[in-house]
Amino acid sequence: MTLAHGSTGNHFLDSLDVENFNLLKPYATEVALERNAVVCQPGAEVDLVWFPVTATLSVVTFMTDGQDVEACTVGRESAYGLLHALGSTVALDRVICQIPGHAIRIAGSRVKAAAALSIGMTDLVVRHAQANAAQTQQSVACNALHPVDARLCRWLLMTQDRTNNDRLPLTQEFLGFMLGVQRTTVSGAARSLAQAGAIRYSRGSIEILNRKALKAGTCECYGSVLDKYAQILGPETSNADQPYA
């Protein structure tokens, strides 16, 4: 695989200057991830940093009673495993591929070595960790305070932004899993959006027909995450052609 500076498709890698990019380039491998592929499990060692390009990863928190909910979604705007490369390598959550596609992976030891040579690399790792933490905090508030319909709109918008695709390979069962609600609850919310002409649902796939309607139906959290990413990582992360729109 030949990676070109500034055109890998992942914001973290594409925001590196040539010198820092060349510190990582020799160790980068492009892989294809299938839906539900497990990137890591709680308690396992995180020895790779994953930079999604067309794939989208989901960081899932499990409770002792078997319930689970998505805590953070990572797409082409960032990476998973950055802090593990610099700090503890033990995974605290389960990470799965929610949208199949391609990603670039680099050994955490190589990222750590590059950060040791470059303050700019270290700064970028910290900034991305801050941005992902901000998303997680917003998701916690959203799940606690906002209705399922608004949360579903937010989730669909963010997923479309990351994939740049109107058709999302998502089942209602998976959406319930991500939103932490029963499948029947998701079915009712999806039915309302379909009746409003915002989406079309078929088995295993959701097609977004009216993005403006989704934006009108979402809560403040969608825009808040956009603003925080732009503030921490730069305004280009809110460009319509970059991870969010």
Residue environment code for 203-218, b if the CB has 16+ CB neighbours within 10 A, otherwise e: eeebebeebebbeebb
pLDDT at 237: 61
Helix 119-145 and helix 108-117: axis angle, to 10°? 120
Q: Assign a CATH topology to domain 11-143.
A: Jelly Rolls (2.60.120)
Which ranges of the chain have pLDDT less than 70?
1, 66, 236-245
In three-state secondary structure terms, 185 is helix
24, 91 in Cβ contact below 8 A? no
Cα–chain center distance at 47: 19
CA distance 114 to 118: 6
pLDDT at 113: 97
Which residue type, as a one-letter code, is found at position 217? G
Query: What are the sequence ranges of the domains in the chain?
Result: 11-143, 147-218
CATH number for the domain whose boundaries are 147-218: 1.10.10.10
Which residue type, as a one-letter code, is found at position 60? V
Cα–chain center distance at 75: 4
pLDDT at 182: 81
Cα–chain center distance at 151: 15
pLDDT at 244: 43
pLDDT at 40: 93
pLDDT at 1: 57
pLDDT at 235: 75
